[in-house]
Structure 1
Amino acid sequence: MKRRDFLKSAGCFLAAGSAGFASESKKPNIVFILADDLGYGDVGFNGQTKIKTPNIDSIAEEGAVFTNHYSGSTVCGPSRCCLMTGRHTGHASVRGNPRWTADGKPVDIPKSEPTVADELKRAGYKTCAIGKWGLAENLGDAMPTKKGFDEFYGFMRHGPAHHYYPEKIWRNEHQVSLPNKPKEKEGLYVHDLFTQEAFKYISRQDKNNPFFLYLAYTIPHYELTVPEDSKEPYQKLGWKKRPMKQGHYYHDKEGNTTYAGMVSRMDRDIGSLMELLKKRGLYKNTLVIFTSDNGHHYDKGFFDSNGVFRGKKRDLYEGGIHIPFAARWPEMIRPGTKSSHISAFWDFLPTACDIAGIEPKAKTDGISYFQALKGNTRGQIPHKCLYWEFNEWQGPVQAVRKGKWKAVRYKGKPLELYDLTKDTGENNDISADYPDQAKQMAKLMESSRTEDSNFPFKNLRK
């Protein structure tokens, strides 16, 4: 394959593209499935033993697993912005969840900033987003149908996405009512609606026109609730019970069986979607990616949701940003492929462009991981580094990964340094032992970001 790489450097600012796969074969369909607050250890292929995820595990077994894949952020909004725009939180337009801004008003993706859907439409793709968008708090030009998606069904904003029995949902640019009672948890379970919409969309597709489906489930984000049939397999196992209290979230009474049931329901539906792709003759030439938007929020150790990692959602330790990643594409990815390539959400846009045979128009911090998907270790371009920043009540917090080195720095505290090859759990700060390396990582933190008046680098709220 003829390949053209282009590099831009500004701290971690690095991009790569190619003449693409499309010149050699028909462009593949792309289905990107995103779980919400699912931990690295919540899936079987990463060691989960209590929650059953056979269909997600099948994607891993029949395709590729990335063992060093990272989310865009440790919370929903900025992570999804990184995924859609190809920019990390040092350059992204959305660097925090709604209202964690200088003036307390939410920030959306600006009209001028292209998304991966905009890019793929240039390559002839049909595009659809289903589920949690969370990037149009102001309901303006950041709506999915104005950011490259032909169709949308789901939540525009974060708040309504907290409930699984919402009274209203968005279809394209209009809200439609649902026969639901959120507090009583009666009516139509919204996860099931998302799956039904995905079924309808795939059923309308044919082999002659490539499509991109972004399926952003809300499972297993709080609130914890799921229909009883999904809890039944877990109710007679003698598990320790975890009572849940209702408040903003209308939780079911017991958390552990509910959490497991939610994840398994999502797994069940992903399996059904894979079967539909086979039935429609789309399976072999469809790239399916499964991952999560950040680390877990619910678990207190019962499920070992963060595996060997330290931290969870809202941390920049590995447990908050190191996420499960599996991809299957029978015509291109060899079963059992495992890659230690260090990658992140902002790589998806250049990867999709690479596969579609176009170069990104968007300014991107990402590098296509297409070669890693194919198991081409020598052909895969590595990152100079990965960068994150997070600025809620404990912020600002910064993190950088450069090869085996990981640095984390909290406001007013010394930089912490870890060797992830020896200390995956980030238990032993070795900054005093490697002062020169610590200084290098501090410089990378400084050079990898631009100032943003919406997200000034100070503690925004206490």
Structure 2
Amino acid sequence: MKKTKYLPYISGSMLLSAVAAPAAIGQTPEKPNVIYFLCDDLGFADIEAYGNQHIATPNINRLAANGMSFTQHYSGSTVSGPSRACLMTGQHTGHTHIRGHIEHPNGQEPLDPNVKILPQLFKSQGYATGAFGKWGLGHETSNTKPNDMGFDRFYGYINQVHAHTYYPTYLWKNTTRVSLDGKTYSQDLIHNEAMQFIRDNKDKPFFGYFAYVLPHAALHQPNDSIYQRYTNKFPETAWNGGYYPAVEKPHAQHAGMVTRIDTYIGQIVAELEALGILDNTIIFFTSDNGPHTEGGADPNFFNTEKRMQGTKRSLNEGGVRVPFIVQWNGKVPAGTTSHHISAFWDMMPTFTELLGLKNTWTQETDGISILPTLTQSGTQAEHEYMYWEFKEGNSIALRKGNWKLIKNNASSTSPVFLLYDLDTDLGEKNNLAAKYPEKLEELKQIMNNARTVSPFSQFNF
């Protein structure tokens, strides 16, 4: 895949003028606010809008009814850190600095500070920028903490392992470690800070990155009405614990956590509406990878992969295909569905195009702007291929059109190649490698050339 510095269709200034709110003659079109809501380990069909029949998500349903739902959107990786790196940098895991998890004291391998990321893009155009939730792209003493990388305001977890607890003894507020009593639910605190960020910036354009931790393990939440609605709904087998604490009713916990996300979404939309800025706010909703099986969670019970196989840590469709909904009242057609193939690394060029920076923003990207699809204007470019690698799982995957190639045991002298036709086999059950040797060789050649060597031996095959 060629890295691009800008996109060849529709100038950014023309597009922003076309989609921004009408302005009087002589006035500059109003810059849209952007909220990117990233769930943690939410499966493709964990929500009603994508087929779930067990978990109530009425507010996300309204996002879908008022916006566009994508059926073929992919996360950056099958685990958290590299997935978020792909989102922030616009690079897939064959190019981005963070391709897996390298642990440091109090955090993980940091971003490359020389590679600009999304908040810096928005900040260059006068946007207020805020991140709330899990960072996971550095450690507590690194120079790539949120406030180092373009966020004006941050509240949450820097260390993603720290984010495994919902009742922490501290969180970070900007560069200050704030002590907590260990009895307060972190997601409520994070949500309150995100809501205040919206209120504080209602009169200027803002970019809000709302990376709440739900529904990642541990399966913990307050014993309130959200959780109680599920306590007698499902057959339950208690989970006895281990790394994560024991859970009496894991299905109820998971369902409640997803509905809790939905409740937060509803409150965000209501606040935007009350402030009179909903129509000038683009809301993106998605997940960082497929559903997890940790802490007592059982994605098969909720059918979260739908007809797909694979969960978090797998490069099968269930591990990387994620829900993706975009609402922008009056600009993105309501109640529509897109089958356009897209991924996290498309967000950088999408926002570059939105802000009119295609000729001046020189950050290289593996992505393609999806604004033509969102606004139904111009011609939508298509990816030549999509690429993922996950060294911890010793696997590589590539999609080209309807064809998907997975290379397992990738670092061995005898790797296993699995070739699937996703049009007829979304469940990836019928390996066609022997039947289509020419297609196999074509995709193997693309796969071999899709990556650059990482400076970290842990990420090379």
Q: TM-score, normalised by structure 2?
A: 0.91
Look up the match of 1:154. Answer: 156
Look up the match of 1:450. Answer: 452
Name the Cα RMSD after superposition: 1.6
Structure 1 residue 61: Cα displacement: 1.2
The yes-or-no answer on 1:43 pairing with 2:50 is no
Equivalent residues in 2 for 1:104-253, closer than 5 Å: 106-137=108-139, 139-180=141-182, 187-207=183-203, 209-229=204-224, 230-237=226-233, 239-253=234-248
Find runs of 4+ consecutive structure 1 residues off by over 6 angstroms: none
Cα deviation, 1:14-64, whole Å, max 9, x if unaligned, reads 564342433443221000000000000101111000011111111111100
Residue 302 of structure 2 aligns to a residue whose secondary structure is: coil
Which stretch shows the higher mean deviation, 13-22 or 270-279?
A: 13-22
Equivalent residues in 2 for 1:8-157, closer than 5 Å: 11=1, 13-14=3-4, 16-17=6-7, 18-20=11-13, 21-24=15-18, 25=20, 26-99=30-103, 106-137=108-139, 139-157=141-159
Supply the distance in 1 between the matched residues of 2:242 and 2:433 (Cα, whole angstroms).
42
Residue 323 of structure 1 aligns to a residue whose secondary structure is: strand
Aligned partners of 2:291 and 2:299 also within 8 Å: no
Structure 1 residue 107: Cα displacement: 2.1
Look up the match of 1:8. Answer: none
Cα deviation, 1:261-315, whole Å, max 9, x if unaligned, reads 1110111111011000000111001000000000001324210011111100000
Aligned partners of 1:137 and 1:158 also within 8 Å: no
Cα deviation, 1:239-258, whole Å, max 9, x if unaligned, reads 11031223332243220001
Structure 1 residue 361: Cα displacement: 2.5
Structure 1 residue 13: Cα displacement: 3.3
Change (3 A) 1:455 1:323: farther
Structure 1 residue 457: Cα displacement: 5.4
Identity of aligned residues (%): 39
Query: Gapped runs of 5+ residues in structure 2?
Result: 21-29
Structure 1 residue 226: Cα displacement: 1.2
Aligned amino acid, residue 332 of structure 1 = K
Which stretch shows the higher mean deviation, 440-449 or 356-365?
A: 356-365
Look up the match of 1:407. Answer: 405
Supply the distance in 2 between the matched residues of 1:363 and 1:458 (Cα, whole angstroms).
22
Look up the match of 1:383. Answer: 383
Aligned partners of 1:127 and 1:149 also within 8 Å: yes
Aligned partners of 1:388 and 1:398 also within 8 Å: yes
Aligned partners of 1:91 and 1:449 also within 8 Å: yes
Look up the match of 1:329. Answer: 328
Equivalent residues in 2 for 1:354-365, closer than 5 Å: 354-359=353-358, 360-365=361-366
Supply the distance in 1 between the matched residues of 2:247 and 2:380 (Cα, whole angstroms).
46
Give the one of 234, 256, 259 matched to 1:261: 256
Residue 259 of structure 2 aligns to a residue whose secondary structure is: helix
Structure 1 residue 116: Cα displacement: 0.7
Aligned partners of 2:194 and 2:210 also within 8 Å: yes
Aligned amino acid, residue 13 of structure 1 = K
Look up the match of 1:3. Answer: none
Residue 284 of structure 1 aligns to a residue whose secondary structure is: helix
Which stretch shows the higher mean deviation, 130-139 or 147-156?
A: 130-139
Give the one of 266, 276, 279 matched to 1:281: 276
Supply the distance in 1 between the matched residues of 2:458 and 2:384 (Cα, whole angstroms).
25
Look up the match of 1:4. Answer: none
Supply the distance in 2 between the matched residues of 1:308 and 1:12 (Cα, whole angstroms).
32
Residue 228 of structure 1 aligns to a residue whose secondary structure is: coil
Structure 1 residue 73: Cα displacement: 0.1
Aligned partners of 2:108 and 2:159 also within 8 Å: no
Aligned amino acid, residue 36 of structure 1 = D
Supply the distance in 2 between the matched residues of 1:216 and 1:251 (Cα, whole angstroms).
25
Look up the match of 2:304. Answer: 305
Supply the distance in 1 between the matched residues of 2:427 and 2:87 (Cα, whole angstroms).
26
Query: Gapped runs of 5+ residues in structure 1?
Result: 1-10, 181-186
